[in-house]
């Protein structure tokens, strides 16, 4: 399965809508991890944790062919440099949903995995993009350590990627990762 089809099916499995670019990236990351398709999605370390330019391109392609609507939500807030703080939301349109249904039927095995993974994520609750980012960073760091590490080791490793992650955030991330079946605290 290519990244484009995975992202399309992942959006469909998540109810057709994801609010925010970072949340889109992290949701796809966790769906990839939970469905054992992460290696195919092109994730690498980035500012807000694991990021895939392939996932971003897949969303752009879905939008450009008219399957995905992208809108901007702004609360009128500005950051410290004077730039407006905005959130990009993504929603499959009617045609995008129809094509996703066809892809799901054509790729039943992958669809079942994505659907099961999305149920696990949904059961964990609606996480905001910051908590998902820290969870993805923690999961990525654990992968660098072979799946087992102490919190102190993860804090030190995070700094090598330019990430600032505090002990309480890692502890909270571990709870989330345990809840979705990806980790256990050492």
Query: Do residues 3 and 55 make contact, with C-beta atoms less than 8 angstroms apart?
Result: yes
CA distance 18 to 8: 12
Instruction: Summarize pLDDT for 91-106 with one digit per residue, the tens.
Output: 999 999 999 999 999 9
CA distance 161 to 164: 9
Average pLDDT over residues 71-89: 71
Instruction: Summarize pLDDT for 110-154 with one digit per residue, the tens.
Output: 999 999 999 999 999 988 899 999 999 999 999 998 888 888 899
* Helix (H) or strand (E) segment spanning residue 116: helix 108-123
* Helix (H) or strand (E) segment spanning residue 61: helix 53-64
What are residue 47's phi and psi, to 5 degrees?
-50, -50
* Helix (H) or strand (E) segment spanning residue 77: strand 68-78
- pLDDT at res. 72: 86
User: What residue spans in the chain does CATH classification 1.10.10.10 cover?
Assistant: 1-123
- pLDDT at res. 1: 87
CA distance 4 to 7: 5
CA distance 151 to 186: 8
Strand partners, 78: 84
The pTM of the full predicted model, rounded to 2 decimals, is 0.91
Can you give the C-alpha Rg of the chain in angstroms? 17
Nearest CA to 63 out of 87, 88, 92, 42 is that of 92
CA distance 11 to 139: 21
Instruction: Summarize pLDDT for 160-182 with one digit per residue, the tens.
Output: 888 988 899 999 999 999 999 99
Q: Quote the tokens at residue 31.
A: 């769906």
Query: Do residues 25 and 56 make contact, with C-beta atoms less than 8 angstroms apart?
Result: yes
What is the topology classification, in CATH, of domain 1-123?
Arc Repressor Mutant, subunit A (1.10.10)
Instruction: Summarize pLDDT for 51-64 with one digit per residue, the tens.
Output: 999 999 999 999 99
CATH of domain 125-186: 1.10.10
**Residues in contact with 92: Cβ distance below 8 Å, sequence separation at least 6, in sequence order:** 8, 11, 12, 16, 17, 62, 67, 68, 69, 100
């Amino acid at each position: 399965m290519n990244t484009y089809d995975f992202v399309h099916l992942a959006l469909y499995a998540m109810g057709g809508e994801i609010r925010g670019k970072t949340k889109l990236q992290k949701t796809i990351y966790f769906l990839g991890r939970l469905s054992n398709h992460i290696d195919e999605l092109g994730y690498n370390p980035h500012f807000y944790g694991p990021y895939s330019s392939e996932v971003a391109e897949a969303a752009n392609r879905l939008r450009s062919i008219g399957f995905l609507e992208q809108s901007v939500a702004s609360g009128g807030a500005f950051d410290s440099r004077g730039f407006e703080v905005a959130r990009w939301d993504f929603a499959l349109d009617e045609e995008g949903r129809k094509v996703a249904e066809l892809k799901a039927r054509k790729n039943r095995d992958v669809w079942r995995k994505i659907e099961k993974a999305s149920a696990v994520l949904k059961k964990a609750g609606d996480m905001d993009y910051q908590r998902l980012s820290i969870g993805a960073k923690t999961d990525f760091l654990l992968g660098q350590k072979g799946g087992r590490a102490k919190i102190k080791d993860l804090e030190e490793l995070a700094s090598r990627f330019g990430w600032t992650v505090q002990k309480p955030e890692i502890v909270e991330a571990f709870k989330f990762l345990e809840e979705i079946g990806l980790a256990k605290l050492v």
